[in-house]
A and B are shown apart, each in its own frame.
Chain A
């Protein structure tokens, strides 16, 4: 019934899901956990406000990541933050424009922005630029002409990160970047004023919402991480005493 070699992973998945459900329930009925400050998310208001004060446009990109495969969670997290960033921009009566590099992101981004701007929403707030090279070329030209005051790069970022962030930097924009894609993290750290690394981007939705149910999932993540670290210690300790845990137990 269960695929060979996937009994332990399935068991761990179910155990992790149970931990999440427990932590969310505990957070809803009890006291929600206190989570550390994420400078990158806290700075979004300041970055947007500064841009509005300077009378410059606000731009947002989730990179060339799509809603398929491994990019999906990061792109979804980026879209969640698109909602938050557009709320901030709308509260200052400023217009936020979104670069959609994948066709499937266009209707979703429109839906998100329409939900925030309501009758003030304009169709050209979502700019569809298919592909990485056209995106880089368009962004370089647009930022050079329009000099945006805020540039958000949050999602599954690829090689375009360096160009988008550098174009923003040259234009004098304050930038917030975040991705879980390892090879782009150094560029984000080096070029953006504020950054979200790895899991911080994925936890952003829970952080900005401040709802106990969502904060509970962050507590669950910490508990799961502790279990993973304990398993790693088990494997290392087993190896030290000559018992290969990975080969003898995790093979099932």
Chain B
């Protein structure tokens, strides 16, 4: 692929779309607004096409596992079977799609989320291990917040809720706003770098 195709064209697309989207927000020009709306529709179209690439990647990964008979490869066969089955269910009727997606998949996903609760507990244990002074501050603040959301502690020690609320409303909120300003400034810097072609996250 030529240098122009790999560098110049993506840069030009980014610059044009960035400027249109940016000025459509600030300027009252109906044409700009319409073009920006069209661009947003195009984003959806491109993303939908990308699903095909994603499916190809999925097939290559699991196909490779089946071919090599890697550990747990029968699960890859299940993935292919589920893919074909869901496709047929969606084509056959909206009812079948609703049942298999809404009643079966969603229930399984919720069960999976519940399973992750065990990971949360061990993560909390890891987070609460006091390794240094920062971790100690983290642990004390976290314990106070646990006390805020469990009413029994407020009943036993009313000041605990006030301390926890103050932590949330004052130091935590201040730090949050500081990080938000930093992120906003960082986003602007990143946009300028990409706009000028100094940073190209999409290869080339």
Chain A residues near B (Cβ < 8 Å): 1-3, 6, 9-10, 13, 16-17, 20-21, 24, 66-68, 73, 76-77, 79-80, 83, 100, 102-104, 106-108, 110-112, 114-115, 123-124, 126-130, 133, 136-137, 140-141, 145, 162-163, 165-167, 169-170, 180, 182, 185-187, 189-191, 197-199, 201-203, 205-206, 209, 211, 213-214, 217-218, 220-221, 224-225, 228
State whether B50 touches A206 (Cβ < 8 A): no
B38 at the interface (CB under 8 A from A): no
Complex Cα spacing A108 to B72, Å: 28
State whether A2 touches B198 (Cβ < 8 A): no
Contact flag A83-B203 (CB < 8 Å), given A2-B27, A170-B122, A217-B189: yes
Residues of A within 8 A of B201 (CB): 76-77, 79-80, 83, 108, 112, 205
Contact flag A202-B189 (CB < 8 Å), given A126-B57, A213-B196: yes
Residues of A within 8 A of B196 (CB): 24, 213
State whether B126 touches A190 (Cβ < 8 A): yes
- Which of B87-95, B108-116, B156-164 makes up part of the contact surface? B108-116
B123 at the interface (CB under 8 A from A): yes
Of all chain A residues, which has the CB nearest B105?
A133
Question: What does the 1/0 interface line of B172-195 toward A look like (CB < 8 Å)?
Answer: 000010011111011111111110
Query: Which of B53, B109, B176 lies at the interface centre, i.e. has the most chain A CB atoms within 10 A of its CB?
Result: B53
Residues of A within 8 A of B46 (CB): 104
Closest CB-CB distance, A224 to chain B, in whole Å? 5
Contact flag A163-B116 (CB < 8 Å), given A17-B192, A198-B183, A203-B189: yes
Residues of B within 8 A of A6 (CB): 25-26
Residues of A within 8 A of B192 (CB): 17, 20-21, 24, 217, 220
Residues of B within 8 A of A220 (CB): 189, 192
Residues of B within 8 A of A16 (CB): 188
Complex Cα spacing A106 to B52, Å: 10
State whether A123 touches B57 (Cβ < 8 A): yes
Residues of A within 8 A of B104 (CB): none
Complex Cα spacing A73 to B57, Å: 24
State whether A162 touches B119 (Cβ < 8 A): yes
State whether A206 touches B202 (Cβ < 8 A): no
Chain B residues near A (Cβ < 8 Å): 22, 25-29, 43, 46-47, 50-55, 57-58, 60-61, 64, 71-72, 109, 112-113, 116, 119-120, 122-123, 126-127, 135, 138, 176, 179-183, 185-194, 196, 198-199, 201-204
Of all chain B residues, which has the CB nearest A11?
B26
State whether A221 touches B189 (Cβ < 8 A): yes
Contact flag A182-B180 (CB < 8 Å), given A2-B27, A213-B196, A221-B189: yes
| Pick from B116, B179, B190, B203: contact of A108, CB under 8 Å | B203
Of all chain B residues, which has the CB nearest A72?
B187
Complex Cα spacing A106 to B183, Å: 26
Complex Cα spacing A43 to B200, Å: 23
State whether B123 touches A166 (Cβ < 8 A): yes
Can you spell out 24 A-B residue pairs with CB atoms less than 8 angstroms apart?
A2-B26, A2-B28, A3-B27, A17-B188, A73-B190, A76-B190, A77-B201, A80-B201, A103-B47, A108-B201, A111-B204, A124-B64, A136-B112, A163-B119, A186-B138, A198-B182, A201-B186, A202-B187, A205-B193, A209-B198, A214-B199, A220-B192, A225-B181, A225-B182
